[in-house]
Structures are given as structure tokens and as C-alpha cells.
């Protein structure tokens, strides 16, 4: 839309140039300058006002469409039916993960992203999913915590179908570190202990193991430093290291790492590799 928008804007803001051209032609053809000048000045002043008004109407219409789209997105989320979780008191005894004939299609699509996957990951082992972009690696990982439900087949943790576990039991057993990390506009401490009941000693230990000490020490307020417009901004690699600290503090037995070093530069990546070694120790890990 750039070319038509540029042409429109140029034309609507330069109509007075045509008036000047017409004025010159009229004068050259013998019209009286004294009689033409009041009309000429009126239109030269008035025409830009019309152009500005037209633009305001256009942008008001655009903003109305943007607002309507925003409302539709919000309503789409509000109207989305949440997953139903089991009320069962089943407890996960071991952390084996098993895929049984798992197939999956995204909602609204008939194309299978995953087809008849059979896989068993032993408790305490580390497994890497490697493949080209768009091959289904992230999708496969997202099915374990039920970010999506399988279309066919079953996923089991410790021999129990994930659909037969309560939300609390399932979430307590899994930690995530994704490539697209998000931090709240709160303090470092609040971001690390988010949703967790952990002591100050555990937070400091998690910071140290996640190689975040140097990040914290850069700021006078330390762990009380706020993130965002009211505080400080962090690089992608620093954000991922803080997310690692959160996962270390949670200390869940199953760990899902989806390109956890994606935004890290070479220095950050070395530190993150050390943190990941600490984090994956004795855990069932999928990378």
C-alpha cells in the first residue's frame, strides 16, 4: 500500500499548487489581478484546511478499524473454552515420558503436523530433538504440558495420561525455558520466584547457578531492580538467563528447553551452557 498511500498524501497536500498554476494562467490571459487576488488568497488558505480535515477523517476511520480488531481479539480470548483438567488425585511416581501413536493437527486445520509418533524418554535422561525449522520439534514439546491436546493417541508421564492429571500436578512437574522468553514489569526477585514459594537463599542460589550474578550486580537495587519502562531493559541473552534462574528455583523434575540460547551472543551462550548443565542435572530433559 506504500505507493498508493504516497500518491494520495502527495496529491491531497498539494492541491494549492494547481490553484497557483491556474492563477498564473489567468493573469497571463489578461484577468484583473486586483479582483482575482481575494479569491486566490481564500482558496490558497482554505484548501489545505480541507486537506487536513480529510486526512483526520481518514485516520479516524483507520483507528476505528484498529480498535474493532483489538476488541475482536480480546473477545476471541474471552470466548475461548479453557482445557478441562482432571479432578483426579493421581500422583506422578517417576518421570518417564511416553508418546503412544500421537498425531496432531492445529485447531482449524486438517493437515497433520505430527503423525503416529511413538517415543519413550526414560526418567533422568536428556534427549535432543534436532531437525529443520518447521519440522514439528516445538509442537511435540508443547503437547507434553498440554499447551495443545493431541488429536490422536496418548502422552503419558510416569505411566499416567497427562489428561488424567490435575493442572497443579502437571505444572508442578514441568519447567520451561523457551526461545521467546517473557519477563513481567516487576523486580528481578518477583520474576525469579513467580508463582513459587521459595526462600531468599533459594533465590540467590538460583541466580548464582543461572550465571545471573553479574546482571544483578550491575544495578544498585540488586534483586529489587524493576524491569521495563519504570526500571531497566535487558538483552535477549540476559532475559533467557533470568528465565533459567526461574526454572532452577522451581526445580521441577521435567525440563523442556526450546532453543533456550536462541537470542544469546557468544559470551551469554557460554554462561547459559553452564547454567543449563546445572539445571539439567538428574532431570528428564528435552532440548
Q: Is the dihedral of CA 71, 76, 79, 83 positive or negative?
A: negative
Q: Give the pLDDT of residue 260.
A: 67
114, 140, 120: which is closest to 129 by C-alpha? 140
List, for residues 205-248, the tens digit of each pLDDT value: 888 888 888 888 888 888 888 888 777 888 877 888 888 888 88
pLDDT digits (tens, 9 = 90+) for 26-61: 888 888 888 888 888 888 888 888 888 888 888 898
180 and 286 belong to one structural domain:
yes
Say if residue 63 is in the same domain as residue 152.
no
Same domain, 168 and 179: no
Q: How many domains does the chain have?
A: 3
Report yes or no: 175 and 255 within 8 Å, Cβ to Cβ. yes
Q: Round to whole Å and give the CA distance between 276 and 244.
A: 8
Q: Report the interhelical angle of 236-250 vs 266-280 (nearest 10°).
A: 10
Identify the helix (H) or strand (E) that includes residue 61. helix 33-78
pLDDT of residue 269: 75
Q: Is residue 187 located within the same domain as residue 239?
A: yes
Instruction: Please give the pLDDT value at position 206.
Output: 87
This model's pTM is above 0.75: no
For residue 94, count other CB atoms closer than 10 A to its CB. 12
Q: Which of the four pLDDT bands, split at 50, 70 and 90, describes residue 277? A: confident
Ranked by mean pLDDT, the top range of 62-66, 248-252, 255-259 is 62-66
189 and 280: one domain? yes
State the pairing for strand pair 254-258/174-178.
parallel
- Give the pLDDT confidence score for residue 261 in this predicted structure: 67
Residue 51's pLDDT is 81
Say whether both 31 and 57 belong to one domain. Answer: yes
Confidence of residue 168 (pLDDT cuts 50, 70, 90): confident
Phi, psi of 259 (to 5 degrees): 50, 55
Residue that terminates a domain, selected from 156, 172, 188: 172
Which of 10-19, 106-115, 196-205 is predicted with the least confidence, judged by mean pLDDT? 10-19
Q: Do residues 276 and 231 share a domain?
A: yes
CATH code of the domain in which 213 resides: 3.40.50.300
* Model confidence pLDDT, tens digit, residues 88-123: 788 888 889 999 999 999 988 888 899 999 999 999
Q: What is the DSSP letter of 258?
A: E
Q: Which residue range(s) make up the domain with 30?
A: 2-78
Is the domain of 236 the same as that of 258?
Answer: yes
| φ, ψ at 266 (rounded to 5°) | -60, -40
**CB-based burial, 154-177: b 16+ in 10 Å, e otherwise:** ebbbbebbbbebeeebbbebbbbb
Quick check: 147 pLDDT over 80?
yes
What confidence tier does 263 reach under pLDDT thresholds 50, 70, 90?
low
Q: How far apart are CA 283 and CA 287, in angstroms?
A: 12
Q: What is the pLDDT of residue 264?
A: 66
- Is 207 found in the same domain as 273? yes
Amino acid at each position: 500500500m506504500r505507493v498508493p498511500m504516497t500518491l494520495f498524501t502527495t496529491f491531497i497536500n498539494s492541491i494549492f499548487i494547481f490553484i497557483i498554476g491556474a492563477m498564473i494562467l489567468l493573469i497571463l490571459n489578461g484577468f484583473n489581478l486586483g479582483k482575482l487576488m481575494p479569491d486566490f488568497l481564500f482558496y490558497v488558505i482554505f484548501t489545505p484546511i480541507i486537506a487536513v480535515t480529510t486526512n483526520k477523517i481518514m485516520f479516524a476511520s483507520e483507528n476505528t478499524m484498529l480498535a474493532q480488531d483489538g476488541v475482536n481479539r480480546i473477545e476471541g480470548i474471552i470466548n475461548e473454552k479453557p482445557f478441562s483438567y482432571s479432578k483426579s488425585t493421581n500422583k506422578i511416581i517417576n518421570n518417564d515420558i511416553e508418546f503412544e501413536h500421537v498425531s496432531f493437527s492445529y485447531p482449524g486445520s486438517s493437515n497433520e503436523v505430527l503423525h503416529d509418533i511413538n517415543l519413550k524418554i526414560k526418567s533422568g535422561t536428556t534427549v535432543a530433538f534436532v531437525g529443520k525449522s518447521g519440522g514439528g520439534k516445538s509442537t511435540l514439546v508443547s503437547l507434553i504440558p498440554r499447551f495443545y491436546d493431541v488429536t490422536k493417541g496418548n502422552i503419558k508421564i510416569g505411566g499416567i495420561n497427562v489428561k488424567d492429571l490435575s493442572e497443579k500436578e502437571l505444572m508442578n512437574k514441568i519447567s520451561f525455558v523457551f526461545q521467546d522468553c517473557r519477563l513481567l514489569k516487576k523486580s528481578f526477585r518477583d520474576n525469579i520466584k513467580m508463582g513459587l514459594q521459595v526462600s531468599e537463599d533459594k533465590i540467590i542460589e538460583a541466580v548464582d547457578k543461572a550465571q545471573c550474578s553479574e546482571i544483578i550486580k550491575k544495578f544498585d537495587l540488586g534483586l529489587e531492580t524493576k524491569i521495563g519502562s519504570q526500571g531497566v531493559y535487558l538483552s535477549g541473552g540476559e532475559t533467557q538467563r533470568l528465565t533459567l534462574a526461574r526454572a532452577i528455583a522451581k526445580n521441577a523434575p521435567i525440563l523442556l528447553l526450546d532453543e533456550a540460547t536462541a537470542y544469546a551472543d557468544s559470551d551469554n551462550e557460554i554462561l547459559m551452557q553452564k547454567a543449563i548443565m546445572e539445571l539439567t542435572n538428574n532431570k528428564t530433559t528435552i532440548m
